[in-house]
Amino acid sequence: MSLSVNDPSLTSWVEVAKDSDFPIQNLPLGIIQMWNEKPRVASRIGDFAIDLKSLYVLGYMENLAFSADDFDTNSLNKMMKKGKLGTRKLRERISKLLQSGTSDLKNKQHHVDQILIPMEDVTMLMPIEIGDYTDFYSSEQHAFNVGCLFRDPENALMPNWKHIPVGYHGRSSSILPSGVDFHRPKGQMKPPTADLPVFGQSNLLDFELETAFFTYEGKPLGGSISTTEADDYIFGMTLLNDWSARDIQGWEYVPLGPFLGKNFASHISCWIVTLDALEPFRVPGPVQDPKVLPYLEYTGDKHIAINLDVLIQPEGKEAVSVCTSNYRHMYWNMNQQLAHHSVNGCNIRTGDCMGSGTISGPEVGQYGSMLEISWKGTKPFAMPDGSERKFILDNDTVIMRGYCEKDGVRIGFGEVAAKVLPAN
């Protein structure tokens, strides 16, 4: 597929810093609030939010399949109901208006002042009303590392791992936007030397470096989405920090998997980068051996090269990078995840959130969780202030950033950040 709005030679009459995550080739979507006004749908270029309600009211969206209500709202869901073609045409229109050679908007300063809002004047809100949340487990290196830590290298991967994109159903109500702090969770856990479980705060709080994708309306109950069709049902992506309380999770996960150790909080970045904007950064995936079943087979490059970085910022101190990784390391791609999710007839709905699973690269320094970085606490990470991190401490802020880069164009997600407050 060729999209002219992805052309690396495009420039805008809006000034954009060279290292910005948000050039004219990106144009992500999100929800902003200005002062005490109602939330509304926006895009972004450089250091400006693009107020799409104002863009509509001022007459710049003629012949598009949208109404004012689609933008005068607190989530992207209404707009997403227009499907892939609708949001694609919207992005194309925004791009055209902002391109260097187009003067329709540029020469009307009174309109520009209403439409381009400095980012310091807006608050970013939760972008999507998420109905259902599924988290996958699709990084082979992460699954291998965890298997080595809790079993042994010979049996690191479970027998089903290379045959299905393993996943579990999570809790959508506790998915939070970047910047919302949360309290350390409490629950049952069983210390290694104890005979009986105890109740208390989690002492092994961990981040998980992930991405998430969001869906358009899928097929009715009983239908399934093929790997070939999947791109038409994927709206876009964010960064995801899927927090994990390892001590709570370790006690409860047998036999049904994650529960209280995972559902207390997950954070996403606030701008949704469309799948269309990410098309130029497609790369081949790994050879899948053994051969997958026919419904999981796919053609073309369905993995995406997204550079990822995780930082820990102790209170009042500088942030320190503890991990760099890349989304291209995933074994199972989004098309396979969505095809597997729906193959049994499960209905996919507008705004469903699908987590990638922890993204770990093949080398030390590329592991996407403290469980792996500290090797279950046996190799603490040394911080510049002389302290150590086996897991995340109270008042630590964890920051995740991600971007793609090719042909001089950088498409980024901004960041997802949250501070851990003491247990309630």
User: Would you say 233 and 266 are in contact if contact means Cβ atoms under 8 Å apart?
Assistant: no
Per-residue pLDDT at 68? 94
Catalytic residues: 142
Residue with tokens 């074994």: 331
Estimate to the nearest angstrom the gap between the alpha carbon of 54 and the chain centroid.
28
Domain ranges of the chain: 4-125, 133-421
Amino acid at 314: P
Domain 133-421 has CATH 3.90.850.10: yes
Question: Would you give per-residue pLDDT tens digits along the chain (424 residues)?
Answer: 557 999 999 999 999 999 999 999 999 999 999 988 999 999 999 999 999 999 999 999 999 999 999 999 999 999 999 999 999 999 999 999 999 999 999 999 999 999 999 999 999 999 999 999 999 999 999 999 999 999 989 999 999 999 999 999 999 999 999 999 999 999 999 999 999 999 999 999 999 999 999 999 999 999 999 999 999 999 999 999 999 999 999 999 999 999 999 999 999 999 999 999 999 999 999 999 999 999 999 999 999 999 999 999 999 999 999 999 999 999 999 999 999 999 999 999 999 999 999 999 999 999 999 999 999 999 999 999 999 999 999 999 999 999 999 999 999 999 999 999 999 9
Q: Is the dihedral of CA 210, 48, 45, 275 positive or negative?
A: positive
Largest CA distance in the chain: 74
Overall size of the chain counted in residues: 424
Q: How far is 189 from 191, CA to CA, in rounded Å?
A: 6
For residue 2, with 0-12 CB atoms within 10 Å meaning exposed, 13-18 middle and 19 or more buried, which class applies? Answer: exposed
Structure-token match 């592991």, residue found? 367
pTM above 0.95, yes or no: yes
d(CA 133, CA 131) in angstroms, rounded, equals 7
- Residue 2 has a pLDDT of 55
Nearest partner of 52 among 36, 35, 415, 69, judged by Cα? 69
pLDDT number for residue 3:
78
Identify the CA nearest to 267 among candidates 72, 82, 124.
Answer: 124
| Angle CA 261–262–263, to nearest 5 | 110
Q: Are strands 175-177 and 266-268 parallel, antiparallel or unpaired?
A: parallel
- Residue 210 region by backbone torsions, left for phi larger than 0, else alpha for psi between -120 and 50, else beta: beta
Q: What's the CATH superfamily of 4-125?
A: Fumarylacetoacetase, N-terminal domain (2.30.30.230)
